[in-house]
């Protein structure tokens, strides 16, 4: 028995085997975590509703141009700004109802506007600031303010 206790040559081999096995387990876990992280981040990019947000922004830009022209044509009893605010509130309600049918919530707020009256045939550049928020339950997006240039 005394000879087995003094013979320690195999302990180094067993210890190095344990260290190698432990480091392989750690390396396997790290590689697995990297693959899972890559999978989840690629799915998050695919689930981001960039087309819906882009559609809301472009539709709002186009509608602001039409609302500016219409507000100037309706400039009989109210000022251009008050006509524009009424048209914008109507547009906001319609867009909210349209996207609510798809389970999405959008909010359009008219932050500020710089509309000048037309003088002659010169074209002026007007500016409208709109706050756009989008929420579909998974993604919350806010563009505050979206600066829209309206040429008239």
In this structure, the chain runs to a length of 152
Output the pTM of the full model.
0.65
Mean pLDDT of the region 4-16? 75
Note the pLDDT tens digit of each residue in 60-101: 999 988 988 888 888 776 778 888 889 999 999 999 999 999
Evaluate the CA torsion angle 105, 108, 109, 111 in order and state its sign: positive
Please check whether residue 108 is in contact with residue 130, taking contact to mean a CB–CB distance below 8 angstroms: yes
């Amino acid at each position: 028995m005394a000879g087995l206790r003094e013979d320690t040559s195999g302990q180094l081999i067993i210890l190095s085997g344990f260290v190698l096995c432990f480091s392989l387990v750690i390396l396997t876990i790290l590689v697995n975590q990297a693959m899972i992280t890559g999978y989840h981040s690629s799915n998050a990019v695919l689930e981001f509703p960039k087309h819906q947000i882009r559609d809301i922004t472009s539709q709002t830009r186009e509608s602001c141009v039409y609302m500016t022209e219409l507000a100037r044509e309706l400039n009989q009893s109210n000022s251009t700004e008050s006509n524009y605010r009424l048209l914008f509130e109507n547009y906001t309600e319609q867009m909210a109802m349209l996207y609510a049918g798809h389970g999405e919530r959008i909010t359009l707020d008219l932050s500020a506007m710089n509309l000048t009256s037309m003088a002659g045939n010169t074209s002026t550049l007007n500016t409208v600031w709109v706050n756009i928020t989008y929420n579909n339950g998974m993604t919350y997006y806010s563009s505050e303010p979206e600066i829209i240039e309206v040429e008239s």
